[in-house]
Amino acid sequence: MNKSIVAGVLALALAGCASQQPDQPFTLTVAHINDTHSHFDPSDARLELDNRALFTRLGGHPRLLSFANGLKEQAAAADQPILFLHGGDAWQGTGYFKLNQGAMNADVLSRMQLDAMALGNHEFDLDNERLAAFIGSVEFPVLAANLDASRDPHLAEAGNLKPYVLYAFDGNKKRRVETLKDAGRRPVVAVMGVVLEDMADIAPNVGELRFEQEVQGAQRTVRHLREMGVKNIIAITHLGLERDQRLAKEVNGIDLIVGGHSHSLLGDFRNLGWEQNEPYAQVFTNQDGRGKTCVVQAGQYAQAMGRVDLTLTPDGRLLRCEGGNTLLSDNAFFRDIRRAEQHRLSGQDAERVAAYIEAQPNIALVEEDPALRAHIDENYKPALDRAYGRVIGHVPAALRHVRLPVNGEGSEVAPLVAASQLYWANTPAVQAVTGRRADIALVGAGGVRTSLEPGELKEGHVTLELLPFANAMSIVSLTGRQVAGLLLETINASLPEGAHTGKFPYVAGLRYQFDETGRDRGFLSRIEVRRDGQWQRLDPEASYQVVMTSYNASGNDGWNTLFATQQVLTDRLDLAFVNGKLAAFPVARLSKTDGGRVQVHYINQPLDCKAQGVRCNTDAQAFVDYVRSQRPVLTALPESGITLNRL
């Protein structure tokens, strides 16, 4: 039996008998996960164990299931009530989702034997028809108490989408009930869902759904449950830790909030070389000054499982809330991220690491559930492996992507994307087609879609996740004045609170300093271009060859300067593969339709990315080529080229 399971046996055994008596304190165990994002396979991870940097793999759904089954076996042995909950955002995240569009999520999650799941924002990434199919096919309820689906043609009749569910317990045995009368004298726990009140601003496809404010919707549902006679209430939410804490303070009557959305791995993980985060199972006093609510969350990407033990008074007040998150580790450890056999720990080294892990409270060696592993490998993994292709490099430590630099910390990924585009444009094969040498690369932050996690980097991680929009690369002549104007335009537009920051410019072959002088505005105090190995001041009158995606080159996403400079005449070239060979498509000018959509007018044959034999994702190809040939061990660049000084 796993050490994390053994740790709770005595406490649960002592509480097990009392839990069946409605006039005695009721003890409940809750196992929980959130933001699993289709990470059905384990994730590569770097840990510091026994003062050494080592590489292993964490989590994955077969390992989650194995650990959850262990907790359930423990609870059964103690005749103790237990629930297994998901805090939302099961969708998106890996090629599994892109290939299977939610069907695999429904299949695998049903095999996990969850008791309930909150509705996350990424569950709206397709459309409500496919979301309804997912909700209708899973074998557990999907919860959202502050959601009104009555006007939506696809979700209005989704019987498995509920505001809450009731579970009646007879010791370890539980069953769904509709009313307290159905439960008799057995203790009842209500599990309610709370979703983002601003979902319509965050999710792309919410149809005709309406979202009630989180605090009001939660309090209304608690009041309804209390009027029914339900005393023990759990909320599974997809709001983020800060809003969960607000909910705990402002809503009376919730005993436990199991959260998601902010990917918060609560607890102190410095013993593993990770961060110390906010404490697990913090307890907050409700607005009435009497009730208390405990808040938990379990990280991201199916790497960890939370386990919290609650003790509640007969009238439903929280007496005790204790537990923690456990990272679920493979038992193979390597000295190098490339994980070759010669890097694998063995003998006494492996035994010492295993002993170190055994002594830690927040990590465990867990075998994968063999049946679920075999099911994934047989039915889904072959297609994924074909789609992801070859390994092009390795990422030793996580590379973060943020759109707008904060406190001097910007994206680590976007500068690499810019560097890849500048490198690619200047390779002999590309120069043979363009006849030009690029000086500068510009990247819009919104075109970079994800951070990079430690581990293997395959072609599909780039084409399906990092740069999934299949944009053609463009090269165009701009004066120094136009480059500076574009930077000023996009930076100033990105600064206001709540602004769309996808237009913020990252660079290669260029560096700049922007100083904010007033509210959400400022000037470029330095802008330099690298030529002949030296940094030189950007010449306003000089002409520079600039590479970027065709999307940004057409002035989309607020890059209006690019549109303005190409309305009459341009020397721009768009680059795409035609029947496997790189080809240049000269652009004559740009215009806009009455509806404001940019139109690209080509000199000869237009670039049609949907045409047979045409492949436009040269932005992704540039990054693949760059990593493979220049940065097979991919780390952050020493400098981003950006200094953003805010007031």
Sequential DSSP letters for 44-84:
EEEEEETTEEEEEEE--HHHHHHHHHHHHHHHHHTT--EEE
Has residue 170 got a pLDDT over 60?
yes
Has residue 147 got a pLDDT over 90?
yes
Stretch 604-611: mean pLDDT, rounded? 93
* Orientation angle between helical segments 9-16 and 61-77, nearest 10 degrees: 50
pLDDT of residue 15: 39
Stretch 603-612: mean pLDDT, rounded? 94
pLDDT tens, position by position, 524-573: 999 999 998 899 999 999 999 999 999 999 998 889 999 999 999 999 99
pLDDT of residue 502: 85
Q: Is-contact 191 174, C-beta < 8 A? A: no
Q: Is-contact 125 92, C-beta < 8 A? A: yes
What pTM does this model have?
0.76
* Orientation angle between helical segments 414-425 and 618-630, nearest 10 degrees: 90
pLDDT tens, position by position, 415-457: 999 999 999 999 999 999 999 999 999 999 988 988 898 889 9
pLDDT of residue 498: 63
Has residue 268 got a pLDDT over 80?
yes
d(CA 49, CA 46): 9
pLDDT tens, position by position, 505-514: 999 999 999 9
pLDDT of residue 123: 95
Has residue 5 got a pLDDT over 60?
no
Q: How confident is the model at residue 4 (pLDDT cuts 50, 70, 90)?
A: very low
pLDDT tens, position by position, 180-205: 999 999 999 999 999 999 888 777 77
d(CA 238, CA 203): 13
Q: How confident is the model at residue 57 (pLDDT cuts 50, 70, 90)?
A: very high
On average, the pLDDT of the chain sits at 93
Residue ranges and CATH numbers for the domains of the chain are 3-386 (3.60.21.10), 391-430+437-546+617-645 (3.90.780.10)
pLDDT tens, position by position, 226-264: 999 999 999 999 999 999 999 999 999 999 999 999 889
pLDDT tens, position by position, 534-544: 999 999 999 99
In this structure, which amino acid lies at residue 309?
D
d(CA 291, CA 245): 14
Stretch 168-188: mean pLDDT, rounded? 95
C-alpha triplet 372, 373, 375: angle, nearest 5°: 60
Q: Is-contact 154 207, C-beta < 8 A? A: yes
pLDDT of residue 200: 83
In angstroms and rounded to an integer, the radius of gyration of the C-alpha atoms of the chain is 27
Q: How confident is the model at residue 499 (pLDDT cuts 50, 70, 90)?
A: confident
- The residue whose two tokens read 């200094």 is 643
Longest dimension (CA), the chain: 84
pLDDT of residue 8: 46
- Determine the 3-state secondary structure of 483 from DSSP: helix
pLDDT of residue 6: 41
Q: Is-contact 187 311, C-beta < 8 A? A: no
Stretch 136-140: mean pLDDT, rounded? 97
Stretch 330-357: mean pLDDT, rounded? 92
pLDDT of residue 44: 87
Q: How confident is the model at residue 22 (pLDDT cuts 50, 70, 90)?
A: low
| Portion of the chain with pLDDT greater than 90, in percent | 82
Return all residues near 133 (Cβ < 8 A) that are at least 6 apart: 102, 103, 106
Q: Which residues lie across from 505 on neighbouring strands?
A: 444
* E strands, 239-346, in order: 256-258, 282-285, 292-296, 304-312, 318-329
